[in-house]
Amino acid sequence: MNSERSNPVLAAETPSAPPSLDTYREGGFFFASPTGVLAAAEAGAALAAPLEHGEVVVGALPFRPDVPSRLTVPRVVHRGAPLHTVSLPARPTPGGRWLDQRTDTESYTSGVRRALELMAGGGLSKVVLARALDLTAAEPIDVCQVLAALAARDPRGYTFAADLGGSTLIGTSPELLLRRTGRAVVSNPLAGSRPRSTEPEQDGRNATELLSSRKDLREHALVVGAVADGLAPFCRELNVPAQPELLPTRTMWHLSTKVTGVLRDENASALDLATALHPTPAVCGVPADAARNLIGELEPFDRGFYTGLVGWTDDRGDGEWIVAIRCGEVADRTLRLYAGAGVVPGSTPEDELAETSAKFRTFLGALGLKESA
Q: What is the DSSP string of 188-250?
A: --EEEEEE--SSHHHHHHHHHHHHH-HHHHHHHHHHHHHHHHHHGGGEEEEE--SS-EEEE-S
Percent of the chain with pLDDT over 70: 91
Catalytic residue among 42, 55, 117, 126: 126
Write the pLDDT tens digit of every residue in 99-125: 899 999 999 999 999 999 999 988 899
pLDDT for the residue numbered 328: 97
Q: How many CB atoms lie within 10 A of CB 82?
A: 15
- pTM score, whole prediction: 0.92
The stretch 141-161 carries a mean pLDDT of 92
175 given a catalytic annotation: yes
> Is pLDDT at 4 greater than 60 in this prediction?
no
pLDDT tens digits for range 33-60: 999 999 998 666 666 668 888 899 999 9
Q: CA torsion sign, 195 to 196 to 201 to 207?
A: positive
Which one of 55, 117, 175, 199 is the catalytic residue?
Answer: 175
Is residue 359 part of the annotated active site? The answer reads no
Alpha-carbon span 157 to 171, nearest angstrom: 10
Distance set, CA 57 to CA 1, 85, 276, 302 (Å)? 16, 25, 17, 26
What pLDDT score was predicted for residue 154?
Answer: 87
pLDDT of residue 7 exceeding 60, the answer is: no
What is the spatial distance between Cα 63 and Cα 315, in angstroms, rounded to a whole number? 25
Q: Which domains does the chain have, with CATH numbers?
A: 3-87+103-367 (3.60.120.10)
Q: Which residue has the higher pLDDT, 66 or 15?
A: 66
